[in-house]
Amino acid sequence: MAEGLRIEIVSPERLVLSEVVQSVTVPGSEGYFTVMNDHAPFMTTMRPGFITVSKDNGSDVYFVKGGFADVSPEGLTILAEQSVPFAEFDHADLQAQIKAAEEELNRAGSPEDKSYAQEVVSGLLNLAIEAQHIGGAHIH
């Protein structure tokens, strides 16, 4: 294997990425983490967010809707519910999801339902902020 980290991003529709790279930053369910070559093996769930893949010639960003990240001696495998390159990320769909989640929050009756709905709205709003930051940043 060439020097570096082997990454594969797999969604139900397709193999999104298969390369050897320098490092990958992943949106874990407990926060972002970075994986480099020879990382200790582990597996974790992912929250919706953006994966940054750092290569010799710059970085690429991919959206993931969630799933699993598996670090093994062979590299990093991302099994995503949905994944697309950032250029294909649907900002209009995200805004529609935020609106629907806010309407659900307004309809929530019990404190438990309100709490859950607020978590969904907050997660989507954070995702929108991240997308704006990435979209406004110069990624190379």
Domain chopping of the chain, boundaries: 5-86, 90-136
Specify whether the CB–CB gap between 54 and 36 falls below 8 A. no
**pLDDT value of position 138:** 38
The predicted pLDDT at position 2 comes to: 53
Which CATH fold topology does 5-86 show?
ATP Synthase; domain 1 (2.60.15)
Among 3, 5, 24, 1, which Cα is nearest to 83's? 24
Per-residue pLDDT at 136: 62
Res 135: pLDDT: 67
pTM: 0.81
* Backbone torsions φ then ψ of 3, nearest 5 degrees: -65, 125
With vertex at residue 98, the alpha carbon angle to CA 32 and CA 131, rounded to the nearest 5 degrees, is 40
pLDDT at position 1, please?
Answer: 41
Rounded-to-integer distance, Cα 31 and Cα 73, Å: 22
Q: Mean pLDDT in runs of 10 for the chain (140 residues)?
A: 84 94 94 92 93 92 92 95 86 86 90 88 85 61
Give me the pLDDT at residue 140, please.
31
The pair of structure tokens assigned to 33 is 């983490």
| 3-class secondary-structure state, position 90 | coil
* Residue 33 and residue 113 in contact, taking contact as beta carbons nearer than 8 Å: no
Q: Which of 26, 35, 41 minimizes the C-alpha distance to 5?
A: 35
Q: Return the amino acid letter for 36.
A: M
